Structure 1
Amino acid sequence: MTNRSDIPPAHTIKRMDPPPPSVRPTVAMLQGDIDSGLTGDKNPMFDPSGAPLGTDDEAADTPPTPFRIALARYHETVERWIGGNWAPDPAHDKWEGLPVGFVGFIVAVGLILAVGIWMVRVSSSGA
C-alpha cells in the first residue's frame, strides 16, 4: 500500500495569481496571464503543458523580443475587454440564451401536444 506522502501534490487545482507588470516581459509572464484567467479564455488554474508557450520560437532560434511579448500581453489582457470584442460564453459563468430558447421550445411543443390531445378527447366524447 502506498503512503499518501509519496504522491506529489497536484498544483493544477490552485488558483494562479497574475504576474506583475514588467518593462521586459517574458513568455512565462504571458503564460502566467493566461493561467491566471486574466485573458478571459480559461479558468484561473495552472495549466501544465507538454510544450510551454514560446518553445517552438526558441527551437527555431527566433525567440520573441520583449516588445512583441509586451504587445501580446496588451492585446490578450487589455484590448480584449475594450469595445465589446469579448463575447461571453458558458466557460466563464456567463448567461447564454440558448438553454432558455431550448426549454421554451420544449414547453411550446408540450403545450401543443396537450391541447391537441384534449381537443381529440373532447370531440370524441361528444360524438
Structure 2
Amino acid sequence: MAGKISPQTSDALRHAIDSGETGEKTDWPDPAAAPLGTDAEAAGQPPDVAAVEAAAPRRTVPIRRTHFPASVLIYVGLAIGLLLIGLAVGIWAMGQGGAS
C-alpha cells in the first residue's frame, strides 16, 4: 500500500487533491465556495502542519495516469468505421448509377 501524502499547508493539500496526486479524483480543480483551509485562515489561525497531515487522504488505490482516456480510442474507431461505411456506400452508389 502506498504511503500518505504529506503536504505542509492546506493550499498544498488542496493542490495535491485537485491535481489527482492523492488518487481520489482526476486532474481537475473543484469549484468551491470556501476552499480547504479558508475558514481557519479567515479566523487568523491557519492550520499547522500536523492538522494538514491529519486531513491528508491515504492512498488506497494506485494512481494510473493516462494521457487520454481509453474511450477516445473507441470514438476514433467508430468515426473511422463510419467513414469507411460511407465510402463503401458512395462507391457502390456510383457503380449502380453507371450500370443502368
User: TM-score normalised by the shorter chain: which range applies?
Assistant: 0.5 to 0.7
TM-score (norm 2): 0.53
For CA contacts below 8 A with separation 6 or more, give which structure has more relative contact order: 2
Q: Percent identity?
A: 24
Aligned equivalent of 2:61, options 52, 66, 83: 83
CA contact (8 A) 1:57 1:64 kept: yes
Query: Moved runs in structure 1, 4+ residues, more than 6 A?
Result: none
Q: Which amino acid aligns with 2:39?
A: D
Q: Which runs of 5+ in 2 are unaligned?
A: 1-5, 28-33
What is the SS of the residue equivalent to 2:83?
helix
1:100 aligns with 2:91: no
Q: Structure 1 residues 32, 123: closer, same or farther in 2, change over 3 A? A: same
Query: How big is the shift at 1:60?
Result: 4.3
> What number of residue pairs does the alignment pair up?
85
Q: Which runs of 5+ in 1 are unaligned?
A: 1-20, 43-50
Q: Structure 1 residues 52, 99: closer, same or farther in 2, change over 3 A? A: closer
Give matches, 1:49-64, under 5 Å: 53-60=36-43, 64=47
CA RMSD of aligned residues (A): 3.8
